[in-house]
Chain A
Amino acid sequence: MNEKTKSFLFKGWILLSTLIVLAIVFYIFGYILSNGIESINMEFLLDGPSGIPVGSQGGIFPAIVGSLLLMLISCVFASILAISTSIYLVFYCESERIKGLIHLITQCMSGVPSIILGLFGYTFLVLYLNLGRSVLAGGLTLGFMIYPFIQVRVEKTLLEVDKSIINSSYALGISRTYTLFKLILPICKSDIVSAITLAGGFAMGAASPIILTAAVTFAPIPSSLSSPVMALPFHLYILTGEGISLEKAYGTALVLILLLLIINIISTIINITRKEHK
């Protein structure tokens, strides 16, 4: 094969693969949008599911609220743990060995598949701690899942803060806590918030951790932390898996994707405004 043919084949390969990737992106969105747009109306968004079997009529309002609740709980839980660990690692931990150990454990954790976390959540939280299938159990399980995600990003942000600012602050005799709250956290705030929103989107789309711990086919809007919930990904799974209603399934998928897009856009806007201030 001469150089010309080789080059031609090579260019054909890379061009074709890029086109395939772009086509997949457009196809997935076009498919969900064109099929789902008809099922979306005020009734679908603001009513509970009804009909026999449940879900074949009505809407998905409890599932939207349930998904947002699960996202909120998991974000609050995971970010408290993740931000504390990152602050500890960057500003308080002096032993390299402990740092290495914590990094290793976090890295291993990010490789554990979500279903194993669901299994843990089901047995430990739902059965042993007697939380029952509930918003709380599901939210905590999702929290385990997104913890490494937030921790890695927050730690990276904290490390990126200019060391000389911190050292000057210490040199002026300002306490660590004061430096942290008045100087470092304000610099990192938008990065941290953006990491948490991204993780929240990730948690909201995940179905496998909540199948065993929180989600049920039909429930009203939860009245307390110990009541079971409906969630969008699980609702979509049930609608398709049991063949209840294809039309409602398209609508649910579209709502889920739109919510995630909104979350992503919010996170991007937070990042952009930060760059303007710099």
Chain B
Amino acid sequence: MRSLGEKIFESIIKIISLFSVLLLVFIVVFIFKESLIFFNRVSIVDFIIGRKWNPLGAAEDLSIWPIILGTVYVSIVAILIAMPIGVGTAIVLSTYTSNRIKKAIRGGIDVLAGIPSVVYGFIGLLVVVKFLEINLSLAAGESVLAGGIVLSVMVLPFIISTCDESMEKIYEKYSQSSSALGVSKSYLIRNIILPESKRSILASMVLALGRGMGETMAVMMVIGNAPIMPKLLGKTQTIPSLITLEMGMAEVGSLHYHALFASGFVLMLILLGINALLYFIKSRINV
């Protein structure tokens, strides 16, 4: 027979679990509900493909195509920079290093992952933006490129740890037979390990894309925040930075306010799609 205390504890655990799950669902529903008011005025398609963002204008003047492009553009630049570096480092970590060095480098990468994004933004503003201004003689160094460079450093730890993990397993699987056959390490990696870890590399890329698109502070501080069509060396705007900068100013209940919720909702949809893709790729990695 179970005592009363036992039953009470079980109920408490159940209630708190139910509460936390409902809370998570509630957050998504809440964002959806607040943006629905806007989508009743403007269709979601017009909102996405329109090219004007004028918070003071009519409902039709609120649309986020350039901002979506900016969000994607910055992340893609970041991935293009970070992928080769990340995969290269993962190869060294999983195959070429002794245990002690591996631990030390991983420690350094963990520390890199732990640096707050606002510090990245700060360094990006003082170093990367200045560097671009001086070397490319731009009037303003705040640009897609600056955002991409800063973001690439931020997504490096994710890429490295995702690739490193599966490469290590694959290496363990093949290293003995390959050294028995007298195959050089570099040949083994290029012809067996890299092709075998294709899916993990893809997974790390998608993960980095998701992280990059949701990143706020670091990107916001170095991209100049102008809602125009993005160019590599021109200013741009991303959805997270748009929400952060304008939410405090938007009058509660106004069209502008609901439009910001709508852009948050669009971002959330994109990221849910990316996460679903990631889940799909990961489930097909069979190491």
| A-to-B contact residues, CB < 8 Å | 3, 6-7, 10-11, 13-18, 20-22, 24-25, 28-29, 31-32, 80-82, 84-85, 87-89, 92, 102, 105-109, 111-120, 122-124, 127, 144, 147, 175-177, 201-202, 204-208, 211-212, 233-234, 236-237, 240-241, 246, 249, 253, 256-257, 260-261, 264
Contact = CB atoms under 8 A, between A and B. Distances in A.
A-B pairs with lowest CB-CB distance, top 5: A205-B116, A113-B214, A17-B88, A84-B16, A208-B216
B268 interface: yes
B215 A21 contact: no
Interface stretch (B6-14, B41-49, B132-140, B197-205): B6-14
Contacts of B13: 84, 87-88, 92
Contacts of A87: 13
Interface in B136-158: 153, 156
Interface in B198-237: 210, 213-217, 221
B285 interface: no
B122 A105 contact: no
A208 B244 contact: yes
A119 B112 contact: no
A186 B188 CA distance: 46
B137 to A, nearest CB: 22
Contact of A13 (B14, B84, B187, B214): B84
Chain A binding site: helix, strand, loop or mixed by DSSP?
A: helix
A23 B247 CA distance: 38
Interface of B: 2-3, 5-6, 9-10, 12-14, 16-17, 19-21, 23-25, 27-28, 30-31, 34, 84-89, 91-93, 96, 105, 108-112, 114-119, 121-123, 125-127, 153, 156, 160, 184, 186-187, 189-190, 210, 213-217, 221, 240, 243-244, 247-248, 252, 260-261, 264, 267-268, 271-272, 274-275, 279
Contact of B214 (A31, A115, A201): A115
A275 to B, nearest CB: 14
B264 A207 contact: no
B187 A3 contact: yes
A7 B116 contact: no
B27 A144 contact: yes
B84 A17 contact: yes
A10 B156 contact: no
A31 B264 contact: no
B281 to A, nearest CB: 14
A2 to B, nearest CB: 12
B117 A205 contact: yes
B9 A14 contact: no
Nearest to A35: B126
A123 B247 CA distance: 10
A17 B184 contact: no
Given A25-B109, A253-B122, A17 B24 contact: no
Contacts of B89: 14, 17-18, 21
A84 B19 CA distance: 10
A24 B153 contact: yes
B243 A206 contact: no
Contact of A85 (B17, B114, B240): B17
Contacts of B268: 112-113, 116
Given A17-B84, A120-B31, A237 B217 contact: yes
Contacts of A261: 111
A14 B91 contact: yes
A14 B34 CA distance: 48
A27 to B, nearest CB: 9
A106 B23 CA distance: 11
Nearest to B104: A22
B125 A13 contact: no
A211 B244 contact: yes
